[in-house]
Structure 1
Amino acid sequence: MKTRIWPLSILSLLCLVLYTACHTSKPSLDNDPEIANDISADEKKLFDAKEGGEEVRIANDSVEYEIIIIDPGFNVWVNSIARPRGYYDQTFLENRNQLFVTEYNARVIQPNRFSPDLYEWQINYDRFTDYGYEVNYLLYNYFIYFQRKYNQRLSGFVPRI
């Protein structure tokens, strides 16, 4: 009789471990409550704006690139809520932009997994090209704005201001 209980207890323990492993998950990176709870009322007003703000064009003719940000509210957000120019150094901005661009582009090519309304076009960002401080500053802040507005997380870092 003991020989029957022993295999059953091992089988029960194994089932319990498998059940626990299958139902215990990491918090989702998208729809992160830590991001949502960190948004002020002023920032929320900018995110809810349907109009306002002009498009932001980031360009440098010498390296032949252009980024146009059409998201309403970004221009006002970057000038009123984002950290001021000079707060971060260029190396920091370049490193974060490389992380954000890599994850953003990975999501663009997975429209069944990530919303194609949020992730429309790939961003061609070359880490060996010196885009200058202003471009890296605006691109970095757009990623922060994007993550906070749409409650996304493009890296292991919580997008804070």
Structure 2
Amino acid sequence: EVYMLTGDTERVAKAICKEIGIEKYFAEVSPGEKAQRISMLQSEGRVVAFVGDGINDAPALTQADVGIAIGSGTEIAKEAGGIILTRDDLLGVVSSIRLGRKTMNKIRQNMFWALAYNMAGIPIAAGVLYPYLTLRPEIAALAMSMSSVSVVSNSLLLKRYKEEH
């Protein structure tokens, strides 16, 4: 669910929400109330992301599970945010979420392959299959290096990520 918390008037908040397709909003909210509303949502078990740009948003950015500061915002907002968007484009929030999900998928892939490799390689290196299969130390070191290279190479595929708008 997407909510808008704003210090703007009811009329302005309603017009903006109608234009961008947000159904739920809270208008004329003070900086402290923003943090309180975020805390309330968190107490209901929700994970909350908050986007802000001003000094008034710093408490809410700090309270949120994920604080996203707009790059042109104040230094205090940038320091309070966990993510800083470099452009003044709210589509960057969507792009950041997508990139975060892709990153987590890569981490899971890397953990799976590293675990599988080590579950197969460590017993062989320890001599469990001796005398049928032996592993010379230099071959074991090369194999371990190749495991690390494969994990890093898989991670570097994230550099191909392109923002989708």
TM-score category, normalised to shorter length? under 0.3
Q: Which protein has the bigger strand share?
A: 2
Considering Cα pairs closer than 8 Å and 6+ residues apart, tell me whether 1 or 2 has the greater RCO.
1
Per the normalisation by structure 2, the TM-score is 0.21
Q: Which protein has the bigger helix share?
A: 2
Rg larger in 1 or in 2? 2
